[in-house]
Structure 1
Amino acid sequence: MVQMALESPTDHRQVERFCQEILPQVSRTFALSIRFLPGNLGRAVLCGYLLARIADTIEDDPVATVESKIRLLDKFLACFDDPAQADIFPQVVGTLEGETAHLHLVENTHLVFALFRSLPAKSQQTLQHWITEMVQGMQKFVKLHAQGIRIKTLEEYQEYCYYVAGTVGYLLTDLWFEHSPSVDFATYHTLRQTCAAFGEGLQTVNILKDIAWDAEHENSIYVPQDALESHGSSHEKLLDPEFLTQNHAAITSLVELAWSDLDKAAQYLMEVPRSAIPIRLFCILPLVFAYATLRDITGSTAMLKSGGNIKISRAEVKSLIMVGPFTVLSNFTIRRLIDQVRQQPFLWGNKNTSFKKVA
């Protein structure tokens, strides 16, 4: 865990060091990707991700009351306009439950807001707008599901996904337009047509692979109740071994939604100008990791068993890290890599892997 006590949040070098060091502890995949983004763009994306993670940690607390979550999320939003609120937020938030690194991030919310205030004014406006949209959506669902998230329909699931992930797609796209000369207004307008799917596709894959974890550790079930009922199951029987076949059939709608959104996310990536290499590099790894994970989800029931989840192999992760960045200069090679990942594990050097590195 990062251990850092700062006397003054205005020490920008230490603030940035904390944010950079905590990132891989709360998201290894995101940490791999953000290193490609230069200067203020990288700093803004880093800050936006950490702010979203703080809000998510509050929302996911398995024991906090609805009233407590709503109050803390309101105080979190107040930090955008009032630095004094940000400075005292770690004391206000009190004790939460969750993963150690995520809790440590919340305890240092004031440092993330110190990074926020060092960003260009336009970036601050973008982050505040979309994080506010996200948090207000979280509050809506916390109120709707006082005893823990229990999604009823696919439509409700899609609304939830928009708030927690589609907003991130818009946030990133607004930052591309601000910071990348290659993203002109016409390109920006085009990207906004599929940017929500970019975030939502990744989110649905994460939800599918962690069905058991979310149910057992976060008291949250995102598989729609009506889908389960149509196959003779229910939220209460989601991890029941006797209903494994029915539950696997019930997640089909989410799996199909994830495939559709990932294909839109791939189109999003390929519509980013090839001259905007850092942005393409940022997008490629989470996308191919998601395709690989969804491929394994489609043929597995592990995530529907107590304690189970889905993870692609370390060998495939390493292969994609090595090859993925070499594809971004060509939409043809991006498509080729995605096509191979969809079909089978991508292992560099395997005789079944025909992909060749592009110079």
Structure 2
Amino acid sequence: MLQRVSRSFALVIQQLGPDLRNAVCIFYLVLRALDTVEDDTSIPAAVKVPILKEFHRHIYNRDWHYSCGTKDYKLLMDKFRLVSTAFLELGQGYQEAIEEITRLMGAGMAKFICKEVETVDDYNEYCHYVAGLVGYGLSRLFHAGGTEDLASDSLSNSMGLFLQDLKYEENSEKAVQCLNDMVTNALSHAEDCLQYMSALKDHAIFRFCAIPQIMAIGTCAICYNNVNVFRGVVKMRRGLTARVIDETNTMSDVYTAFYEFSSLIESKIDNNDPNASLTRKRVDAIKRTCKSSCSLKRRGYDLEKSKYNSMLIMVVLLLVAIVLGMIYAK
């Protein structure tokens, strides 16, 4: 089921040991189900709000399910009893952590069903509920597994917020400026993320956390000041993703990736952007933190490489076709 609703998460979760892997998998599926209820616009608010508020109780009911969503998300909801059964087989510490985060997130989602996101404070509060709490939950699961100390709430919150997916509206100059503002907002959590990861002791948990965080700042780098965000899917290339997964083993690797992706963002800053000075300030802070580790490597992450490689391949193929045509003509 996890492979169906999130292939990327299914990949990084393999870094964890069996017990913690099962707990994090169930945690993700519970929150994905909660999110499916929130996202289904066909459910009237009068029905949706009570479900969201009571969802933390439903996970204890082996028979509960609610049909909503589409495609694989609908399958998850139709078979939610299987998730509940697996949840009830977890240790008490894992269960309590998942229940608490589900309760808080469900209440936060319910609040914003009845309230529009109109200000930056509203936006930050909503992101705390749907993303920051994920960081809290993971920290509690790591602690319940007996391998990590319980991280502070502020660091856990930043770990979750930095992973938040952003959806943007139709293209325009102001929309790009809004995009840049949202990326700049996300960068404010980067230093906390580095501090959080530097304190992790278990190598498997470290990789589980570090790989998505590097993907997050890489995605920020490719999206920043990029008009193509409004024209189609913009994401890191598969080859680069494979490199991140293969090469992320130590904090030195993390510092190097954060430094390089921050430098890429810096190279794309438009001085005419309203948030240019703030973006530059946050990028500088990230780079200073990485430099102060005295462990930077020379790696060379290139988000634009594929475009030129593809162009070069096309030119070579065209030349080969021409040469072959001349040979056959003779």
TM-score range, shorter chain: 0.7 to 0.9
1:293-336 per-residue CA deviation (whole Å, 9 max, x = no partner) reads 1001113022334xx23211122112212212xx32xx233201
SS of equivalent to 2:236 = coil
Q: C-alpha displacement at 1:267, in angstroms?
A: 2.1
TM-score by length of 2: 0.76
Q: Does 1:333 align with 2:312?
A: no
1:242-270 per-residue CA deviation (whole Å, 9 max, x = no partner) reads xx111111233311111111332222111
Q: Does 1:32 align with 2:24?
A: no
Match of 2:223 among 289, 293, 297: 297
Match of 2:45 among 45, 66, 86: 66
Distance 2:42 2:229 in 1: 23
1:69-91 per-residue CA deviation (whole Å, 9 max, x = no partner) reads 1233245333234x2xx41x33x
Q: Which runs of 5+ in 1 are unaligned?
A: 1-21, 146-150, 212-237, 346-352
Letter aligned with residue 67 of structure 1: A
Q: Which residue of 1 aligns with 2:122?
A: 156
Distance 2:18 2:240 in 1: 30
Q: Does 1:279 align with 2:205?
A: yes
Asked whether the 8 Å contact 1:137–1:163 carries over to 2, the reply is: yes
Q: C-alpha displacement at 1:287, in angstroms?
A: 0.8
Distance 1:263 1:28 in 2: 27
Distance 1:247 1:114 in 2: 45
Q: CA RMSD in A?
A: 2.1
Rg (Cα) greater in structure? 2
Letter aligned with residue 225 of structure 2: G
Distance 1:75 1:125 in 2: 15
1:61-117 per-residue CA deviation (whole Å, 9 max, x = no partner) reads 132221121233245333234x2xx41x33xx23x243x111111111111111110
Q: C-alpha displacement at 1:35, in angstroms?
A: 0.8
Q: Which has the higher contact order (CA 8 A, sep 6+)?
A: 1
Q: Does 1:193 align with 2:117?
A: no
Letter aligned with residue 187 of structure 2: W
Distance 1:178 1:332 in 2: 27
SS of equivalent to 2:41 = coil
Letter aligned with residue 219 of structure 2: T
Distance 2:189 2:28 in 1: 21
Match of 2:184 among 256, 259, 267: 256
Equivalent residues in 2 for 1:238-257, closer than 5 Å: 238-239=169-170, 241=171, 244-257=172-185
Q: C-alpha displacement at 1:344, in angstroms?
A: 4.9
Letter aligned with residue 143 of structure 2: F
Q: C-alpha displacement at 1:192, in angstroms?
A: 3.3
Asked whether the 8 Å contact 1:54–1:105 carries over to 2, the reply is: yes
Distance 1:318 1:333 in 2: 14
SS of equivalent to 1:194 = helix
TM-score by length of 1: 0.70
Match of 1:319 among 243, 250, 268: 243
Asked whether the 8 Å contact 1:123–1:175 carries over to 2, the reply is: yes
Q: Which residue of 2 aligns with 1:46?
A: 25
Distance 1:143 1:57 in 2: 17
Distance 2:218 2:25 in 1: 25
Q: Which runs of 5+ in 2 are unaligned?
A: 266-296, 301-330
Asked whether the 8 Å contact 1:266–1:287 carries over to 2, the reply is: no
Letter aligned with residue 317 of structure 1: T
Q: Which residue of 1 aligns with 2:273?
A: none
Q: Which residue of 2 aligns with 1:355?
A: 299
Q: Does 1:175 align with 2:95?
A: no
Q: Does 1:56 align with 2:27?
A: no
Distance 1:354 1:78 in 2: 50
